[in-house]
Every structure is written in C-alpha cells, then in structure tokens.
Structure 1
Amino acid sequence: MRLTEFTELMETEFGSTAAYSMLRDHVFPEFGGRNGADAVDAGYDPKQVWQAYCRDFDVPRDRW
C-alpha cells in the first residue's frame, strides 16, 4: 500500500480532522509504542498500520 492510499483511507474512514489526530495521538504497542505517523516514518508498512487502526477502531472487515 502506498502512503497516499493510506492517507486517503484514513481521511475517508475517519474524516480529515479526526484522522490527523489519530495519526498523532493513538499509540500501538505492536509498533514499539509509536503512533501511526511515527510507525510509518519508522518503516512499517502503511498497510499494517491501516489494519491496526481498523482493528482498534472496529472498522468493518470489508473496508480493511
């Protein structure tokens, strides 16, 4: 997954303002305690980060 697709999915699913906040504020233990933005910057696949948001925020499976 490309970074642009990841960003688009976040904004479509959660709205621009909420997506921005979530990328900075929500921390994932599986990414070493990083937030979503830092996880992507650290080299984690944006698809893995997207799926982590989907799990944590109960996004329906068909939109993963």
Structure 2
Amino acid sequence: MRRSEFLRAVDAEFQGRALPVVNDLVLSQLAGRTALEALDAGVPPRDIWLALCDETDVPLARRHGAGRLEPRKR
C-alpha cells in the first residue's frame, strides 16, 4: 500500500472525519503515535492502515485492498 492509497482508504472509510482521525487519534499499536506521525516516521502505510482499522473497529470486509485505484481499461 502506498501513501496515496492509504490516504484514499482513510478518506473513503472515515469521510468527513478523515482529517481528525489521521491527525489526532493515538494508535497504541504504533507506539502511541498518530497516523500522521507514523507516516512521517517511515512506518509502512499498510501497517498504519491496519492499526487504524483495529483501533476504530473497521470491519474485516472493508480492510482488504482499500484505497487501490481500479485498473485501467484498455
């Protein structure tokens, strides 16, 4: 998962709450950092996404592949 995919996944899942979730929610799985702090520290976006999902009880069905763009049609 790339950073851009992570940000799309957060936006799709949390919509209007996406910014506060990324900036303010402290994630215990990431040593008490916010998602933004973890991104800046070089933590892989997929690890951050999964920690965020765990912390906010995102259902398993919405965790896999979130944030990926649809393949281009040829």
Provide the TM-score with structure 2 as the length reference: 0.78
Residue identity in the other structure for 1:20: L
* Rounded Cα–Cα distance in structure 1 between residues aligned with 2:29 and 2:50: 12
Superposed counterparts of 1:12-23, under 5 Å: 12-15=12-15, 17-23=16-22
Unaligned runs of 5+ in 1: none
SS at match of 1:59: coil
Given residue 10 of structure 1, which amino acid in structure 2 is its aligned partner? V
**Which consecutive residues of structure 2, in runs of 5 or more, have no partner in the other structure?**
64-74
Structure holding more helix per residue: 1
Shift of 1:29: 2.6
For residues 21-54 of structure 1, the C-alpha deviation after alignment (integer angstroms, 9 at most, x for no partner) is: 1111111233222110010110101001100111
Aligned-residue offset at 1:8? 0.2
Q: After TM superposition, what 4+ stretches of structure 1 lie above 3 angstroms from structure 2?
A: none
Q: Which residue matches 2:48? A: 49
| Paired AA for residue 54 in structure 1 | C
CA RMSD of aligned residues (A): 1.0
Aligned-residue sequence identity (percent) comes to: 37
